Structure 1
Amino acid sequence: MTAYKTGSFLRCGAAILPLTGLAVPAVEAREREADVAPYIEIQQILVADLKDGSDVLTYTSVAAGVDTSLQTRGAEAQVNVRYERRFFYEDNLGDEDIITGLARGSVQVVPNLLALEAGAFAARSRVDLRGEAPSNTVGNIDNVTQVYSVYAGPSLSTRAGALDVNAGYRIGYTKVEDETAGVLPAGQVPVDIFDDSVSHSANASVAMQPGDLPFGWSVGAGWQREDGSQLDQRFEGKQVRADVTVPVSQTLAAVGGIGYEDIEISERDAVRDTDGVPIIGDDGRLVTDTSSPRLLSYDQDGIYWDVGVLWRPSRRTSLEARVGQRYGSETYHGNFAYQPNQNTALNISVYDTVSGFGNLLNDNLSSLGTSFTSTRNPLSGELNGCAFGPTSSLCFNDVLQSAASSSFRARGINGQLTYNHGGWNTGLGVGYARRRYFASQLGSVSAIDGLIDQNYYANLTIGRDLDRYSSFDANVYANLLDSGFANAPNVLGVGANAAYYRQILPRLQGTAAVGLDSYQQDGFDSELTASALLGLRYDF
């Protein structure tokens, strides 16, 4: 049985692999392979506003981190985490702490039966698509906040005769720190900001592959819930579903599925003053009226379906594409994976889901494999937008485009390409993300109901070892943001940086980096900043 991730629920479908006439590649027994690389860094950074030559900022950064890769017969993990303390010399700037990282792991509790999956993520996110779009998040910046997310849970996979049996559960927690959007276009009011949430996801399925019968089949059920503290928002979805796979040839199959689901999203009103105006607390968020009745913002139940094709001409190429009716309209989703050799991998996914901020972040994190490469901006030390792996890659741009508290329908497309050959390491991520928000017309955030925002993004990373002692890497990135609010102009953010690394002594490395960052928005002064860095890193 193959499980296909489609938005907030696990959709089950019978596997197509037996139709190809190809044997399943044998999984090589893994020898123990562990690489733990803790390090410390000290850096001196200069940031200059090229639109105003008098505005120059310098600061010192001290950081500690660890890069870990673990591959054994019973466990797999990849960890990239970094803590940074920035010391500013300006009287109007306080020192700040930043934690960024990405981690995924899996432990076989009972070999070939029960595993424990976990993941964690820490990064900075935009608050509001209408505000500033700084790429170099240094100094007195607005519209940027810190996001943390973690999840864990067991997964079961076994066979009972000719049946494939799968089940899983996940609990997650997501937190957004207190920040404001800063200056917005004239006439625009801030959106309510996500605070924190606890999410749950459970699924179970039974399937039979084609062979004993002229077709494959599966039946499954899923449940998901997210409880957010902001306005006491609640997302709950339940579904049951059946799928069939009908072989057309050795490499092609027709697929179809039908199910029933019930999704309900609700919130409470905010505390209001004597004039009926919602009250905003010290953290910049609306104050929840805990005595308010629940206000329904989304209620969708009924039959949904989709049909499509599965194509696997070889072990290195696979395609799934489906079209159907769901969430009250047409829906399209699928994925394409191509790995012609060990140096090249291409992954493209089209998605359509109804979710909340925490649920979507956990879904994205759980879809990333336990082997990946995540690069960092050499000037800010923060994670770049994508993580690249040999079998799965992921860009977080879609979920981090804004931190609005309301749930939404998310649709879009993501593509990631990795190419490693002749000493070059290259990764390209591009995508488009579209959200339509849900809010009660009787509540305090009714203005966001039906709002559609859009994000177009691209990230390119290139690296190469120059010799035994030196290397370089470069990053280019761009975002075009459309908030959907009337009279709110689009925001374009672009940037590029490059870094040179040189081993000075065993375990001691020097770094020199430069970068340019810019964003433009009608009605605001455009911004162009240049950055330079000199630093030392010691690996233990």
Structure 2
Amino acid sequence: MMRKTLIIALGTGLAVTPVAARERQITPYIEVAQVLTADLTNDDVLTYTTLAAGIDANVQTRRVQVQASYRYERRIGYDDRLADADIHSGLARAAVRVAAPLTIEGGALATRTRSDIRGAAPGVLQGNVANISQLYAIYAGPTFGSHIGPVGVSGGYRFGYTKVQAPSIVSPITGERRDVFDDSRSQQAQASLNLKSGTVLPVGITLSGAWVRDDASQLAQVYEGKYGRLDVLYPVLPTLALTAGVGYENIEISRRDALFDAAGQAVVNAQGRFQIDPNGQRRIDYNFDGLYYDAGVVWRPNQRTQLEVHAGERYGSFSAVGSFTYQASKTVAVRVSGYDGIQTFGRQLQTSLTEIPTAFNPGTNQLGQNFNGCVFGAQGGAAGNCLNSALQSVSTSAFRSRGVDAVISVTRGRTNFGLGAGYANRRYLASNAGPGIIIEGLEDESYYLQGYINHQLDTRTSIDANVFANYFLSGFGPQVGVYNIGATTTLNRRFGRFNAFGSVGIYNFGQDQQRSITSIQALLGGRYSF
């Protein structure tokens, strides 16, 4: 199972770049818009102005594949009820082939997300939204692949950094903070040897190993894992093979003691982050040292379709993972992925970012739902990936992450659309060190659905629509389910370098057995591209 996870993390997301699709385009812009938001439940209306500057870049050649979309926005309110805010949103993915066996990959993300699972949807810009944090993530590293005779040799290294600003408003449900994530540094190195079936032996053999480490500043938490694995692949048909593997792994997660005052309350700084007890000790939150195993099937009926499923025992219990990819044509791509692993927030986000293709649809939604949910692939490339499993909430504590994601991306003439859905479960792995620290065994769950469609009415006019629905259930504190649904539409009209646009959205946010809040939002603005 580890072998598949590591290969996916370091080697996927590259877009197909045929000769006809090579392009270079870099477009900086400035933008101004007026926004009106109305809380229909409480009869409250707010207006504010947004000033923005950004850049869209796309370079797709044989050796260089880069796409980046970044936007800085200043939100200016008209009274004390709405705080001014700076919002950064952007996504970048790159792969540069330095030489035939060596590629440098990287990615970056800036978005707003929940500081914990109990808040409203982070994409809604209305009002002073509680539990929302600004997040930044970046990673880069080399990958290589070559052959020594009949043996394939591959490997790679990745360094990543994740930073989350503390939320200014705490949860509307309990009024208290969870462990407020600060930043982390992640490293991952892996190497493998592969002998294809039918070359020397009738079976294929893969030997792989890896080392991973994640250092989080909150309570000096350290995640360190060492892995080794042997896989055997036995073809039973030209398109079907059986596979089995056994691995050894050593995972240890530890942290320093938190500082408590005389009343037994955790001591926190101005951002709500726990302070380290100078007289405390380092405690082990999770330790696994032993073997694991699984078996499964690999089905490849053609070059465009692949299904791989594995099931066995890992972390002392049943575990199953799998993936399905289908590239029906240059205009249709499907991806389904099931996962199971011991994770930290920084590691999971970095892995999710690597699985976004280097050619993606940046979206045209002006109401703020970009890059905090599903990201869909561009025409001729991979289907895309959903970031929801990582961004469902921010937590310093490590957890076992299990779930499934499904994404489809389609282009038909002047129309392109995408659909993403998934389920994510986190079971936390932290010892009970006092009030305010997540307790081992508690679970968070989330279900999510997102769709979009864009249609080019003519050479200068386009219209799009976006919908989303989420349901979150937190095991921390009261068992309260939080749901939010919404829909937006935007009309764009281009006049040379100037683009005029108007958007409208409707949202509903609520909690189980509580009164929900319905709001609408309208936006009118213009963009000048250089």
Alignment TM-score, normalising by the size of structure 2 = 0.94
Residue 373 of structure 1 aligns to a residue whose secondary structure is coil
Is residue 94 of structure 1 aligned with residue 92 of structure 2?
Answer: no
Q: 1:519 aligns to what?
A: 509
Q: How does 1:107-506 map to 2 (within 5 A)?
A: 107-109=96-98, 111-133=99-121, 135-179=123-167, 182-185=170-173, 189-212=176-199, 213-380=201-368, 382-383=370-371, 385-389=373-377, 390-442=381-433, 446-485=437-476, 487-503=478-494, 505-506=495-496
Report which stretch shifted further, 434-443 or 376-385: 376-385
1:102 partner letter: L
Q: Deviations over 1:25-65 (max 9, x none)?
A: x9856885211122211111100111122x11111111111
Q: Aligned partners of 2:84, 2:172: CA distance in 1, in Å?
A: 26
Contact 2:112 2:122 in 1 (8 A): no
Offset of residue 134 of structure 1: 5.6
Residue 353 of structure 1 aligns to a residue whose secondary structure is strand
Contact 1:200 1:226 in 2 (8 A): yes
Contact 2:129 2:169 in 1 (8 A): no
Contact 1:152 1:172 in 2 (8 A): yes
Q: 2:522 aligns to what?
A: 532
Residue 292 of structure 1 aligns to a residue whose secondary structure is coil
Distance 1:235 1:3, change over 3 A: closer
Q: Aligned partners of 1:215, 1:322: CA distance in 2, in Å?
A: 18
2:90 partner letter: G
Contact 1:134 1:517 in 2 (8 A): no
Q: 2:12 aligns to what?
A: none
Q: Deviations over 1:228-266 (max 9, x none)?
A: 000111101110001111000100000111110000001
Equivalent residue for 1:40, pick from 30, 47, 56: 30
Distance 1:163 1:396, change over 3 A: same
Offset of residue 279 of structure 1: 1.1
Q: Aligned partners of 2:487, 2:319: CA distance in 1, in Å?
A: 36
Q: Aligned partners of 1:31, 1:180: CA distance in 2, in Å?
A: 45
Q: 2:13 aligns to what?
A: none
Q: Deviations over 1:341-398 (max 9, x none)?
A: 2211111000001110001010111122211113253223643511112224111111
The percent identity for this pair of structures is: 43
Q: Aligned partners of 1:345, 1:234: CA distance in 2, in Å?
A: 38
Q: Aligned partners of 1:3, 1:408: CA distance in 2, in Å?
A: 17
Contact 2:101 2:144 in 1 (8 A): yes
Q: 1:62 aligns to what?
A: 51
Offset of residue 523 of structure 1: 5.6
Q: Aligned partners of 2:8, 2:528: CA distance in 1, in Å?
A: 46
Distance 1:134 1:70, change over 3 A: closer
Is residue 508 of structure 1 aligned with residue 498 of structure 2?
Answer: yes
Residue 448 of structure 1 aligns to a residue whose secondary structure is coil
Q: 1:21 aligns to what?
A: none
Residue 231 of structure 1 aligns to a residue whose secondary structure is helix
Contact 1:269 1:443 in 2 (8 A): no
Which runs of at least 4 in structure 1 moved beyond 4 Å after TM superposition?
A: 2-5, 9-12, 26-32, 443-447
Q: Deviations over 1:4-31 (max 9, x none)?
A: 642xx4589xxxxxxxxxxxxx985688
Contact 2:112 2:372 in 1 (8 A): no
1:366 partner letter: T
Offset of residue 130 of structure 1: 2.6
Q: Aligned partners of 2:51, 2:2: CA distance in 1, in Å?
A: 44
Offset of residue 95 of structure 1: 2.1
Offset of residue 3 of structure 1: 9.5
Q: 1:83 aligns to what?
A: 72
How large is the RMSD of aligned CA atoms in angstroms? 2.1
Q: Deviations over 1:387-431 (max 9, x none)?
A: 112224111111111112101010000000111113111000000
Residue 398 of structure 1 aligns to a residue whose secondary structure is helix
List gaps (5 residues or longer) in structure 2. Answer: 10-15
1:498 partner letter: T
1:39 partner letter: Y
Q: Aligned partners of 1:499, 1:345: CA distance in 2, in Å?
A: 25
Q: Aligned partners of 1:11, 1:3: CA distance in 2, in Å?
A: 10
Q: 1:17 aligns to what?
A: none
Contact 2:266 2:436 in 1 (8 A): no
Distance 1:355 1:424, change over 3 A: same
Report which stretch shifted further, 275-284 or 58-67: 275-284
1:372 partner letter: F
Distance 1:303 1:28, change over 3 A: same
List gaps (5 residues or longer) in structure 1. Answer: 13-25
1:150 partner letter: I
Offset of residue 338 of structure 1: 1.2
Contact 2:332 2:411 in 1 (8 A): yes
Q: Aligned partners of 2:135, 2:488: CA distance in 1, in Å?
A: 24
Distance 1:276 1:168, change over 3 A: same
Contact 1:267 1:440 in 2 (8 A): no
Offset of residue 510 of structure 1: 0.7
Offset of residue 318 of structure 1: 0.8
Report which stretch shifted further, 520-529 or 28-37: 28-37
Q: 1:19 aligns to what?
A: none
Residue 363 of structure 2 aligns to a residue whose secondary structure is strand
Q: Deviations over 1:435-465 (max 9, x none)?
A: 0011123456554211111000000001100
Q: Aligned partners of 1:301, 1:137: CA distance in 2, in Å?
A: 46
Q: Aligned partners of 2:499, 2:23: CA distance in 1, in Å?
A: 25
2:440 partner letter: D
2:158 partner letter: R
